[in-house]
Amino acid sequence: AGGPAQAAGIKAGDAIVSIDGESMEGASAEVVAAKCRGESDGKLEVEIRREEDGKTKRLTLTRANVNANAASTSTYTSDSGNKVGVLKLPSFSTETATQIVNGIRSMSNEGPVDAIAIDLRGNVGGYMPAGVDAAKLFLPPRAHIIAEVDKGGQIKAYDADGIGAETATPVYLLVDGRTASAAEIFTAALQDNRRALVIGSKTFGKGRIQNVQPLENGTGVAV
């Protein structure tokens, strides 16, 4: 919130059609993000399609340094008197695991919570290993998280390797159609190990692991 996209009038649910005249139809989130990056105060032209009416609109964005990965926490008391801690994760980065640990500590400052709700709505993922590391915080040793299969058929398994930071308090995961990538890895790991109850609509369904490799001319290639 409060970044260049919001300042230019982009809303949650808008689809990016093109950036600086280059079509983004069918492009992954990583490719779109790479095209948006650049020098602070630089300009880029973005064409978006509104979710509510399908109309397109061209907007000018001014790049700025933003902390797009910051997690936020809050607590509330339910009608039944239970204290619920809410952790909002907008994306997954190298700082996410630390943010989760700090968030759990913060929400428990005035006594333990009875449940933890993790809001992953609109979380398109990010750094894949961060999804694995986040899952480890809630799972017991040797719990299976994900298996990665390369083009040669070689399998690399990721399992929980220690006692998680929080393995007892009930966990609820809030998801929607824009929950994707590392966020889906995290969600599936907790659901498959019966550690969390998933609430919401069908997630995006991304089954690939991609990274954007920068090229010398300033462009990038997703592999």
- List active site positions: 181, 192, 206
Contacts of 169 (CB under 8 A, 6+ apart): 112, 113, 114, 115, 116
Quick one: how far is CA 39 from the chain centroid? 24
Measured CA distances, 46 to 8, 18, 102, 125, 218 (Å): 10, 6, 36, 22, 18
Measured CA distances, 102 to 14, 71, 73, 196, 222 (Å): 32, 10, 9, 20, 33
